Amino acid sequence: MPSPFSRLRRPQTLRSRLVLTTSALLVGVGLVIGVVTAGALYFSLMGRVEKQLDATVNRSQRFVGDPDRGGGSGGNFPPPEQFDRTTCSDGTTPSFVGPGQTDGTLYARYSGGKLLTSQSGVYDDSTSTQTPCVRQLSAAQSDVLEEITAGQELTVDLDGLGRYRIAATILDDGSLQVTGLPLADVNRTLLTVVGVEIAVILGGVAVAAVVGSFLVRRDLLPLQRVATTAARVSELELDRGEVDLSLRVPDADADGATEVGKVGLALNRMLENVGSALEARHTSEQRVRQFVADASHELRTPLAAIRGYSELTRRSRDQVPPDVAHAMGRVESEAVRMTGLVEDLLLLARLDSGRPLDRESVDLTMTVLDAVSDAQVAGRDHRWRLDLPDEAVEVVGDPGRLHQVLTNLLANARTHTPPGTTVTVGIVPDGARTHLDVVDDGPGIDPDVLPRVFERFARADSSRSRAAGSTGLGLAIVQAVVTSHHGSVTVDSRPGRTAFRVTLPSS
């Protein structure tokens, strides 16, 4: 069973899915563009740093050991007293990294594993002339640089200084010169660009989602109208009677040039076919009903004559041979059975045609008492029980038809259960409705037969023994009469208990 959270993660409407899918694609495209742009910018900036680093290395090599520039054989930079004495912001005396060197340049020289000199220059912004202030590298920083071999160019992290791009070269005197440029500007530029890209992507996706939601909603309105038409058709009762299937998708939404229009056009064609089929079915049903009604009506007269002549022969004073008397008795009994079948068919035909029933107040309690009394006479080998409220219960309907409903249910219980079965009839008032229950403790109805037990000429299987014949129309008449009273009838059956419940409006 899916959790409630899975429903939240999975949008239900097509509009939500389209908007979320489009937004996700925009985010993906924006991320790809951002990554590519940031990567290109990073490599471009690093290329500039590499060029600056090469130039810095060349300048340092020319400066070291040049007597005209004050380098001397030791390679030390000119002393601070050769320049204007300007104090740095931290109180130290400014000194000089080297001519043409940029802000933050790092320089160190090693000879025979010994540090000759190390400096890192930063411009002091507190002074009006932005004098370069030179700082000596710490021992830890110098140890990191000493591990770099000649010819290498790599990026290292120096405590207190940050990330540097370092190049190591061998000077003419055999000493190792390490020169580096800071990557702080590169990192700041890259972070700024990435931040701007993220803001632009998120803002663009948000705007696209709002605008896209509006556009998708507008474009899906024809589909919504098609769905509304289909929903209205689904609410129609198409199983019986004459059906007015005039609902159609508007012509504007049934244009075959668009996908939604193709759906609307296909739905209209389907409705036309279904409408034609329903009209043909209704016409056929009307003809069958009319035939059944006419045939039933016409059969009543000859059946009445057959019964009359049979009864007259049986009552004749002239003696007839026993076999003739038996044959005439069979003719009379079958005529009686056929008369009942004809009457049932005629009643169903009238109910199917929508002929209105009588509407008057019916004492349902008295109807139950009369019907159970008749059932006791017909089924003396069954036990009959009543479960009635203390006060009389009344409903509005046709008294004759409601009596027939109860009679058919009791006859069904008597016919399809063995002797000794207990049949309980009860009335349960329930506000605006009234329930009439007929329950027996017989063997039950076969589960394969149960779904179609109210169909015409439906037969229960042999597990429910029959002491007399059955037309298979009793329960069909029950359902037809109850439906005509705007009620319902249900059945629940299992071995040892079969319960029919008739629900009728109380008024």
- Measured distance CA(264)–CA(244) in Å, rounded: 19
The β-bridge relationship of strands 383-387 and 422-430 is parallel
Lowest-confidence segment of 80-89, 105-114, 326-335, 421-430 by average pLDDT: 80-89
User: Which pairing describes strands 497-505 and 433-440: parallel, antiparallel, or unpaired?
Assistant: antiparallel
| pLDDT value of position 180 | 85
Buried b / exposed e across 206-218, counting CB within 10 Å, b at 16+? Answer: eebeeebbeebee
Structure tokens at 324: 């003739």
**Whole-number pLDDT of residue 2:** 53
Token representation of residue 4? 């409630």
Q: What percent of the chain has pLDDT over 90?
A: 20
What span, in angstroms and rounded, lies between the C-alpha atoms of 76 and 116?
A: 8
* The 3-state secondary structure of 70-96, one letter per residue: CCCCCCCCCCHHHCCCCCCCCCCCCCC
Q: What does the pLDDT look like over 49-65, one tens digit per residue? A: 888 888 888 877 766 55
Q: Is the pLDDT of residue 330 over 70?
A: yes
Is-contact 78 96, C-beta < 8 A?
yes
Choose from 1-5, 115-119, 126-130, 224-228 the range with maximum mean pLDDT.
224-228
Confidence at residue 120, expressed as pLDDT on a 0 to 100 scale: 55
Confidence of residue 476 (pLDDT cuts 50, 70, 90): confident
Percent of the chain's residues with pLDDT above 70:
79
Evaluate if residue 29 carries a pLDDT over 70.
Answer: yes
* Mean pLDDT of the region 175-181: 84
Q: What is the pLDDT of residue 504?
A: 92
The mean pLDDT of 90-116, rounded to a whole number, is 60
Residue 487 pLDDT greater than 60, yes or no: yes
Those residues whose C-beta lies under 8 Å from the C-beta of residue 3, and which sit 6 or more positions away, are none
Q: How many CB atoms lie within 10 A of CB 45?
A: 17
- pLDDT (average), residues 244-251: 78
CA dist 446 and 442 (Å) reads 12
Ramachandran category for residue 457: left, alpha or beta (phi over 0 → left; psi -120 to 50 → alpha): left
Region class of 490: left (phi > 0), else alpha (psi between -120 and 50), else beta: beta
CA-closest candidate to residue 131, choices 88, 164, 99: 88
User: How many angstroms separate the Cα of 244 from the Cα of each of 74, 86, 249, 279, 290?
Assistant: 110, 102, 15, 9, 21
Q: What is the pLDDT of residues 445-468, one digit of tens each?
A: 888 888 888 887 766 544 444 444
Contacts of 164 by beta carbon, 8 Å cutoff, 6+ apart: 106, 155, 156, 157, 158, 180, 181, 182, 183
Partners of 504 in beta bridges: 434
**11-27 tens-digit pLDDT:** 567 788 888 888 889 99
pLDDT score recorded for residue 9: 56
- Given a contact cutoff of 8 angstroms between Cβ atoms, the answer to whether 407 and 372 are in contact is no
